[in-house]
Amino acid sequence: MKRIYLDNAAGTLIDAGVLKAMLPFLKENFGNPSSLYKEGVVASTAVAQARESIAKSVGVLPSEIIFTGSGTESDNLAILGTVSAFLSKRQKGSKIKPHIITGSVEHMAVLGVIEELEKKGIVEATYISVDDKGAVSLEELKNALKENTVLVSIMYANSEVGTIQPIREIAKIVKKYRELKKTNYPYVHTDACQAMNYLDTRVESLGVDLMTFNGSKIYGPKGVGILVAKHYVDIDPIVFGGGQEKGMRSGTENVAGIVGTAVALEITEKIKKSEVKRLTALRDYFMKKLEKTIPNVTINGDRENRLPNNVHITIPNIEDDVLVIALDAKGVACSSKSACKMAVGGESHVIKAMKGKADGSHLRFTLGRSTTKKDIDYTVAALGKILEKYKNI
């Protein structure tokens, strides 16, 4: 049976060119980048070249690129590092508690750490609401800013429903506030993991101070995250040890993964325009075919202002795990929520924030470079047959 993979938001197949670039650093060029002899120099040179390539792709200085072990770690570094730096530099005896603004539909890599800091009484947090399409309220954001706000963290594109957030407008609002108050805070952080393949991710264009992305969402390797931190951003490390990454992230660098991620991003930038056009057409075809074929289906998220590869639906009166497993049996891989949320279980906080409740079955289909129109036709037909089977149960 041919497998149809429609969960590219969870992870992507590694590109052949990426794997080819990585192999030498998994075999003969195995040295530790911190070593002074030849093998170490080869490895450190490869990391430096990858850093320069990635920096060029997102329009920053190489020194503004921090390599981590995942997108989650990069998000944690942005948040914990900002809070730690603020606390360590506040006036002695001050009890000012740092304030963070985030969205109610963020990935758990952001929500989890903020909730933990809040629970421990280290920060106070404001969770901006979203409309029924999943877009954050700019008016709420404006009203939430205050003297002790140190960070605004809003993801570029939602990992479940694909809605693209107004990051440029958010950055402008925050910049205007900083100018008015004559302060460096708050910084603006965006998790761009889902956006890298399809949207403009040049940091200057977005106006953000911190940006997270990773290799596994751009047809690169797992185990590599990147945090872009502009030179003026004051953050502390959260991992200590040998002082790698200029002290910002200790631990021996994943040389092969870093090299592969740089190549993956280069490829992504080259084909971005054509892939966006192709996938947008496929996405729209998919949504129309679902609405024509599946009774009572609802498309979630913004119909237009969404990722080109994302189709997220609700089907009433059936559990989503049932549909995910049934589709898998027919050769179709999809999900009901983000992979991280699947690991811990529970209903979709994204749908609940958008709709007020999370009833019914929620399916996320995320298309990729190998997806064809035939794959879409087969998937819709398979889903229709499954629903027909279960409608009387």
Catalytic residues: 340
194, 158 in Cβ contact below 8 A?
yes
Task: Decide the pairing of beta strands 361-366 and 99-103.
Answer: unpaired
Query: What stretches of 106-209 adopt beta strand conformation (E)?
Result: 124-128, 149-153, 187-191
Backbone region of residue 29 per phi and psi (left: phi > 0; alpha: psi in -120 to 50; beta: other values): beta
CA distance 56 to 327: 41
182, 202 in Cβ contact below 8 A?
no
CA distance 250 to 252: 7
Task: Decide the pairing of beta strands 310-315 and 298-299.
Answer: antiparallel
306, 314 in Cβ contact below 8 A?
no
Query: 3-state DSSP: the chain helix, strand, coil percent, rounded to 5?
Result: 45, 15, 40
128, 144 in Cβ contact below 8 A?
yes
Euclidean distance between the first and the last CA atom of the chain, given in angstroms as a whole number: 27
> Cα dist. 294→284, 315, 329, 358, 378 in Å?
15, 9, 19, 19, 13
Give the CA count within 13 Å in the CB-facing half-sphere of 380: 21
